[in-house]
Amino acid sequence: MAPASSRLSPGRAARTAAAILLLATLGPLPAQASNFEHQRGLFHDASQALERKQITRFRQLLRELEGYPAQPYLEYDLFRRQAHKVKPAQAERFFDRYADYPFVYHARGKYLSALAKRRDWENYLRVWDSRENTRLQCFAFQARLELQRLDGLDDEISRVWLRGYSQPSQCDAAFAYYLENHADPDTVVWLRIEKAFKARRPNLARYLGRKLGADDQAVVETWYRAHLRPERSLKRLADVADTARNRAIIAHAIDRLARKNSLKALEFWNLMRDDFAFTQNQVDEVQRRIALSAAHQHEPEARTLLANLEPSTMNDQAHLWLARIQLRGRDWPGLLETIKRMPVHLHAENEWQYWLSRALEAEGRLVESLDLLEQLAVKSSYYGFLAADKLERKYHIEQENAASVEVDEDSFLVDNPHMLRARELFYLDRLVDAKREWFQALRYLDHDQIKQAATLASKWQWHDSAIRTVAKTEHRNDFSLRFPTPYKRQVMALAQKKELDPSLIYGVMRRESLFDPLARSNVGALGLMQLMPSTARRVARSLGMKRPRRSDILHVENNIRFGTHYLKSVMNRFDNNVALAAAAYNAGPRNVRRWLPRDEQMSADLWVETVPFRETRNYVQAVLAYATVFDKSLGQSTLMSSRMGVIKPEY
């Protein structure tokens, strides 16, 4: 086993190999940028010395790295570690010296925390930069209270107070001052309680209720129970007094119940609405919520509920779900009328232009239908491919090169120090810092330079940044940049072993992570194929492997192996229907089973369009379209519609 000092993470090993290949292709570099491979090794040694608190060794390596583009990040690491003892004058010199570096913002935040811990309020306010960070903002409030700088303070605290979710404990002193000095504290407490219930933060609302008198606390407790057990509470609320607060509680309880059982909510609403003087806004919101929930739950009554909404209360979601219900019921005349009434920004979308063409076809208006399909079929998109299939045309996937000339990498990086630093940080496996530098650099580039930057990121195999960068240009058809095929050896081998379509694997991978092997989602999904740790462990067990750690799941070989195994399992579960399998990969097989048609089979394009979760609907459409694009680069020719098939009531 290699010693710890030389062991590389999976991501770092891949980047180091790519860096070696890159350096082999580079021409002469400026003197200060020479010997990058050696300097990267020194950088890692310096990082480890700092981690081990070997400060003398660290400073020696820091001197050896003078002139290396990423060297200031070691200074930043040291500053963060020693922020608690850095003097204000030293901090200001550091901020001034590295003012152009993205890390300064984060270094300043770290120093503000250190000053607050020292209770050095004078210097805190000197360093304070009015950032949108609630914890640090509340420290600033505390500093002003301590120093009696109260001008305008109440209004600033009010903006933080009137949020419907919990705030950091650092705000407690400011909130106490605000309530003690407010002319009507009960009113602002109630305002926040109402916001908390609306934001689905019942525990916060209950906590805030303790600041009120006994009678008001009882009202908050009633609201709290209505939030948690709406059906049980509504039975009791039928006989309460007709007050503004009780009306708000009833409306909230019906909203909560509708999200789980729209028809039961409708039943309560019909029983109670005439016995209470609900405001028109409450009536509109409750009826729209019941109608939309009924649509999400595929209730037959949803169509009538949506159609009966007043035109002034129809928001985008109401228009869209009425159209989807009509689609599911093949009500083509109704769909034509609904699309006609949609706001322009919805009507003009490819989605509704496609379904308008289908409705026109069903009504025998073939010339108009074909005209719309002709316009869509030239687009390299989900609806463009659907239109091409209808017309029996070849797909319009014509490669366009983003960079009109070969990029002179040396000159480009010399002229763009942010880019040079981004590249080095990328190979040093400091991806967060690399992305900050990269996207700060893009602010200073013109259109042609952004195209060149995308080309460079792709060359370095930094695919997620290449994809995001080319998306900032009009070159949506540079498929070599937007749809690369990395990890081809692993993908093709597993595709053959699992009898999976490699284009589908790439489609899932591209949608999940943009080919970032170290991607982590907010909910904890990991790696190229965004596997939840529980799923990866289950797959590993079925493969006879030991329980994987997070680092094991992030390893490229493992991640693709686990991901393709799970993809194959959902393909098997749903008879190799890619639309259903993609939906199951995103939302789970249980949800997909709930969304299946109840009585008779339906076409996949209709089914996809009426999936209740927008995220899953968009996901399925993206995977199908991406797989079609990857077909071209992989030398395949598959109709997108053939991957979808027909959707049956049972699987």
Question: Amino acid identity, residue 258?
Answer: A
pLDDT at position 176 is 97
Band (403; pLDDT cuts 50, 70, 90): low
Mean pLDDT, residues 514-522 taken together: 93
CA distance 139 to 173: 9
Mean pLDDT, residues 263-289 taken together: 97
Q: Give the distance from CA 104 to its chain's centroid.
A: 26
The pLDDT tens digits for 208-236 are 999 999 999 999 999 999 999 999 999 99
pLDDT at position 410 is 85
pLDDT at position 31 is 44
Q: Is 7 exposed, middle or buried (0-12, 13-18, 19+ CB in 10 A)?
A: exposed
| pLDDT for 404 beyond 80 | no
The pLDDT tens digits for 95-116 are 999 999 999 999 999 999 999 9
Read off the tokens for 106: 């984060």
The pLDDT tens digits for 613-623 are 999 999 999 99
pLDDT at position 402 is 58
Contacts of 402 by beta carbon, 8 Å cutoff, 6+ apart: 451, 454, 455, 470, 473, 475, 478, 481
- Reference 628, options 511, 515, 514; nearest CA is 511
pLDDT at position 24 is 41
- Reference 261, options 282, 220, 232; nearest CA is 232
**Stated pTM of the model:** 0.86
Q: 374 catalytic, yes or no? A: no
Least confident segment among 2-6, 89-93, 288-292, 371-375: 2-6
Mean pLDDT, residues 520-536 taken together: 95
Q: What's the chain's Rg over C-alpha atoms?
A: 29
- Reference 314, options 326, 322, 325; nearest CA is 322
| pLDDT for 534 beyond 60 | yes
Are 635 and 492 within 8 A, CB to CB? Answer: no
Mean pLDDT, residues 466-495 taken together: 91
Read off the tokens for 134: 């609630």
Band (34; pLDDT cuts 50, 70, 90): low
pLDDT at position 7 is 36
pLDDT at position 477 is 79
What are the domain boundaries of the chain? 33-145, 409-476, 488-647
pLDDT at position 148 is 97
CA distance 400 to 320: 34
The pLDDT tens digits for 543-601 are 999 999 999 999 999 999 999 999 999 999 999 999 999 999 999 999 999 999 988 89
The pLDDT tens digits for 150-197 are 999 999 999 999 999 999 999 999 999 999 999 999 999 999 999 999
Domain 409-476 part of CATH 1.10.1240: yes
pLDDT at position 27 is 42
Q: What is the 3-state secondary structure (H, E, C) of 344-383?
A: HHHHCCHHHHHHHHHHHHHCCCHHHHHHHHHHHHCCCCHH
CA distance 611 to 598: 14
pLDDT at position 1 is 37
Band (405; pLDDT cuts 50, 70, 90): low
DSSP 518: T
Contacts of 135 by beta carbon, 8 Å cutoff, 6+ apart: 168, 170, 171
% of the chain residues with pLDDT over 90: 87
Top-level class of domain 488-647: mainly alpha
Query: How far is residue 326 from each of residues 261, 318, 495, 641, measured CA to CA in Å?
Result: 21, 12, 39, 22
| pLDDT for 26 beyond 80 | no
Task: Please tell me which residue, 635 or 34, carries the higher pLDDT value.
Answer: 635
Q: Is 175 exposed, middle or buried (0-12, 13-18, 19+ CB in 10 A)?
A: middle
| pLDDT for 23 beyond 50 | no
The pLDDT tens digits for 344-355 are 999 999 999 999
pLDDT at position 398 is 80
Phi, psi (deg, nearest 5) at residue 562 = -65, -45
- Cα distance between the two ends of the chain: 49
Are 188 and 162 within 8 A, CB to CB? Answer: yes
The pLDDT tens digits for 502-513 are 999 999 999 999
Q: Exactly one of 299, 409, 424, 512 is catalytic; which is it?
A: 512
Residue entry with tokens 């309880």 = 253
Mean pLDDT taken over the chain: 92
Q: How many CA atoms lie within 13 A of 222 on its CB side?
A: 18
The pLDDT tens digits for 310-361 are 999 999 999 999 999 999 899 999 999 999 999 999 999 999 999 999 999 9
pLDDT at position 598 is 85
pLDDT at position 173 is 96
pLDDT at position 47 is 97
Are 398 and 425 within 8 A, CB to CB? Answer: no
Q: Give the distance from CA 415 to its chain's centroid.
A: 33
